[in-house]
């Protein structure tokens, strides 16, 4: 990454508007994750502005959900200030070993390693999407890189109209979204520029997006933060589905008549907040009753996956157990809100959120079922979705277990290299493949998949999460 840092000066990434900020602290006081007192919030914003961030509660706990930008009454972009501090830390320190999981150019990345456990039909889908990126097309459906962890969700005739135009590659790294979220801003800028060149060469005029993550990069983040504009129209797949429900192109055979609750994901705040409204209208049209969680829409909690971000920097950043526990407690916080509604189904519009909320579901043995909106529409239309979220959650646990075991024998920190969006993912090593297949078989076996074992795992995970939460609270009170 050091060579990428030469592209831009530090001043190019000062998204925070200090001239507009009056230090009121409202951004952090009303943050659904931090929930600081007014005095604490004011001290935190002052410390972040001054750069005296040694004991910053914000940097220790922020999950980069971007709610603070939408909360700020003066539109000063406090989220940009957090990204700036992460940016500085990343330039100076690099990232801990566990962060290799999210960089597609590292052999340990979750896409390469999860493919070890994918079935042939799934691999065939992913390969076809990558091949389609080499063909000229005016309209495309971009799968989204987290969608590629669960390609089976596209196996429905409801998408036949768009199927020839489905494109995507894990190497595109969410058009820079994850790099942006952890403060690797030069890489986010570079990936955005490469994506612009790529889709321009393809002749794309209309971009449908499976994930709001990529859509919001095209419509909000890259144009408004980095000055990279795209000359095609962007529409969410969920909007496309809703339009077809309205005009009868998707026919409803039977109303579902079930109580559901909806997870509004972080990036859904972008694009003028269209996704939360779209999801709720889809649910209404297929006969579902929505029971709202405590935190919804602009005030919604992150699914928890970004709970790993505050562990990438600071004094505990080299400890993979700290990263794992922060992830689990963040995921469980959102799942508990869903459970508290009494709804039997948690509707998750983002495939990334779906994958990781499914992980905490299996680890805590939750009775809440997790579905994408597309899957529920399939059910209402008389189709049976290829619903393998729990199986894929155990696969992700298998590749995570392998990564944790390798940590003691690997370098503690690294500077990520620039991602090649035109190149294939790196090959998984033979040793990694053997271990991942072993853990995959173990987690799917009767040794784990029985009532007693699942109950014991859930008890242990909940106990660990509760103890870790008490630890975090004690740290805060110091």
Cβ–Cβ under 8 Å, residues 234 and 265: no
What pLDDT score does 417 carry? 86
Q: What is the pLDDT of residues 316-326, one digit of tens each?
A: 777 888 899 99
pLDDT band at 35 (very low <50, low <70, confident <90, very high): confident
Q: Which residues of 320-346 are buried (b: 16+ CB within 10 A; e: fewer)?
A: bebbbbbbbbbbbbbbbbbbebebebb
User: 280 forms bridges with which residues in the sheet?
Assistant: none
Residues in the chain, overall count? 478
Q: What is the pLDDT of residues 37-83, one digit of tens each?
A: 999 999 999 999 998 767 788 988 899 999 999 999 999 999 999 99
Q: What is the pLDDT of residues 104-158, one digit of tens each?
A: 989 999 999 999 999 999 999 999 999 999 999 999 999 988 988 999 999 999 9
Q: What is the pLDDT of residues 234-291, one digit of tens each?
A: 999 999 999 999 999 999 999 999 999 999 999 999 999 999 999 999 999 999 999 9
Q: What is the pLDDT of residues 358-368, one digit of tens each?
A: 999 999 999 99
Helix axes 373-380 and 237-246, enclosed angle (nearest 10): 20
Cβ–Cβ under 8 Å, residues 386 and 119: no
241 three-class SS: helix
* Rounded Cα gap, residues 215 and 222, in angstroms: 10
What pLDDT score does 8 carry? 47
DSSP 8-state symbol, 7: G
Asked if the model's pLDDT at residue 6 lies above 60, the reply is no
Which pair of tokens denotes residue 167? 């494109």
pLDDT band at 411 (very low <50, low <70, confident <90, very high): confident
High-pLDDT (> 70) share of the chain, %? 97
Asked if the model's pLDDT at residue 7 lies above 80, the reply is no
What pLDDT score does 3 carry? 42
Would you give the distance in Å from CA 343 to the centre of its chain? Answer: 23
Closest C-alpha among 194, 21, 27, 9 to residue 87: 9
Cα-atom radius of gyration of the chain, to the nearest Å? 21
pLDDT band at 478 (very low <50, low <70, confident <90, very high): low
Helix axes 274-285 and 237-246, enclosed angle (nearest 10): 40
Asked if the model's pLDDT at residue 5 lies above 60, the reply is no
Which pair of tokens denotes residue 90? 């990343």
Cβ–Cβ under 8 Å, residues 238 and 208: no
> Which segment of 193-202, 409-418, 446-455 scores lowest on mean pLDDT?
409-418
CA angle at 123 for the pair 116 and 431, rounded to the nearest 5°: 15
* Rounded Cα gap, residues 210 and 159, in angstroms: 11
């Amino acid at each position: 990454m050091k060579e990428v840092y030469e592209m831009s000066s530090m001043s190019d990434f000062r998204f925070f508007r200090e001239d507009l900020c009056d230090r009121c602290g409202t951004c952090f006081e009303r943050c659904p994750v931090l929930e600081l007192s007014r005095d604490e919030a004011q001290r935190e914003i002052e410390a972040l502005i001054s750069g005296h961030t040694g004991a910053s509660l914000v940097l220790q706990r922020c999950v980069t959900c971007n709610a603070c930008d939408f909360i700020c009454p003066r539109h000063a972009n406090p989220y940009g200030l957090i990204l700036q501090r992460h940016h500085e830390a990343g330039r100076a320190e690099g990232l801990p070993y566990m962060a290799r999981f999210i960089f597609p150019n590292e052999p340990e990345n979750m896409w390469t390693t999860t493919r070890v456990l994918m079935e042939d039909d799934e691999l065939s889908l992913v390969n076809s999407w990558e091949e389609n990126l080499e063909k000229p097309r005016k309209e495309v459906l971009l799968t989204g890189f987290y969608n590629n962890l669960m390609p089976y969700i596209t196996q429905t005739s409801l998408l036949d109209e768009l199927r020839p135009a489905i494109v995507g590659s894990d190497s595109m790294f969410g058009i820079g979204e994850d790099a942006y979220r952890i403060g690797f801003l030069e890489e986010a800028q570079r990936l955005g520029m490469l994506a612009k060149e790529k889709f321009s060469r393809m002749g794309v005029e209309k971009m449908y997006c499976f994930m709001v993550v990529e859509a919001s990069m095209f419509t909000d983040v890259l144009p408004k933060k980095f000055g990279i504009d795209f000359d095609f129209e962007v529409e969410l797949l969920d909007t496309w589905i809703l339009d077809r429900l309205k005009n009868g192109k998707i026919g409803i055979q039977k109303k579902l008549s079930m109580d559901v609750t909806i997870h509004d994901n972080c990036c859904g705040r972008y694009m003028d907040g269209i996704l939360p409204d779209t999801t709720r209208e889809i649910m209404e049209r297929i006969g579902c009753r929505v029971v709202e969680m405590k935190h919804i829409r602009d005030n919604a909690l992150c699914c928890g996956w970004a709970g790993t971000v505050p562990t990438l920097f600071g004094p505990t950043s080299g400890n993979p157990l700290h990263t794992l526990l922060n992830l689990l407690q963040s995921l469980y916080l959102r799942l508990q809100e869903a459970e508290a509604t009494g709804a039997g189904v948690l509707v998750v519009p983002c495939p990334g959120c779906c994958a990781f909320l499914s992980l905490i579901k299996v680890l805590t043995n939750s009775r809440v079922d997790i579905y994408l909106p597309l899957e529920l529409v399939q059910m209402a239309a008389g189709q049976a979705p290829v619903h393998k979220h729990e199986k894929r959650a155990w696969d992700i646990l298998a590749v995570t277990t392998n990564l944790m075991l390798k940590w003691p024998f690997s370098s503690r920190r690294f500077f990520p290299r620039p991602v090649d969006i035109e190149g294939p993912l790196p090959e998984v090593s033979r040793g990694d493949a053997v271990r991942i297949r072993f853990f995959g078989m173990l987690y799917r076996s009767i040794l784990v998949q029985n009532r007693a074992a699942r109950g014991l795992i859930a008890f242990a995970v909940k106990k660990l999460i509760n103890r870790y939460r008490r630890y975090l609270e004690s740290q805060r009170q110091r």
